[in-house]
Amino acid sequence: MFVLITYDVSTVEKAGQRRLRRVAQACKDYGTRVQKSVFECQVGRSEWATLRQRLLDESSPVEDSLRFYFLDETAVGKVEHHGAGKPKDSNAGHSLLKEMSLVSSPSSLMNPAVRQTGPN
Amino acid sequence: MFVLITYDVSTVEKAGQRRLRRVAQACKDYGTRVQKSVFECQVGRSEWATLRQRLLDESSPVEDSLRFYFLDETAVGKVEHHGAGKPKDSNAGHSLLKEMSLVSSPSSLMNPAVRQTGPN
Interface check for A18 against chain B (CB to CB < 8 A): the answer is: no
Q: Cα B3 to the chain's mean position, in Å?
A: 8
Quick check: B66 contacting A, CB < 8 Å? yes
Local confidence band at A86 (pLDDT 50, 70, 90 cut-offs): low
CA distances to A50, A62, B9 from B19, rounded to whole Å, are 38, 30, 7
Mean pLDDT of chain A: 80
3 state SS of B4: strand
Single-letter amino acid code for the residue at A60: S
- pLDDT the model gives residue B116: 64
Contact flag A62-B119 (C-beta cutoff 8 Å) = yes
Q: Is A83 on the interface with B (CB under 8 A)?
A: yes
Q: How far apart are CA B59 and CA A50, in angstroms?
A: 37
Q: Are B67 and B73 in contact (CB under 8 A)?
A: no
B5 and B41 in contact (C-beta within 8 Å)? yes
Residues of chain A found within 8 Å of residue B84, distances taken between Cβ atoms: 8, 10, 60-65
pLDDT tier, A117 (very low <50, low <70, confident <90, very high otherwise): low
pTM here is 0.79
Query: Domain A2-110, what fold?
Result: Alpha-Beta Plaits (3.30.70)
State mean pLDDT over A39-47: 97
A60 pLDDT more than 70: yes
Q: What share of chain B is helix, strand, coil (3-state, %, to 5)?
A: 40, 25, 35
Give A92 to chain B, closest Cα distance, Å: 23
pLDDT digits (tens, 9 = 90+) for B23-56: 999 999 999 999 999 999 999 999 999 999 999 9
* Domain ranges, ordered by start, for chain A: 2-110
Amino acid code (one letter) for A55: L
Q: Tell me, what's the pLDDT at B85?
A: 73
Interface confidence, given as ipTM, is: 0.78
Enumerate residue ranges in chain B where pLDDT < 70: 86-120
> B78 and A84 in contact by Cβ < 8 A?
no
- Smallest Cα–Cα separation from A36: which of A45, A27, A44? A27
- Rounded to whole angstroms, the Cα distance separating A57 from A119 reads 38
- CB contact B37 to A (< 8 Å): yes
Cβ atoms of residues B94 and B33 within 8 Å: no
Q: Name which of A63, A69, A78 is nearest B79 (Cβ-Cβ).
A: A69
* Residue in A60, A71, A85 nearest the CB of B83: A60
pLDDT of residue B94: 38
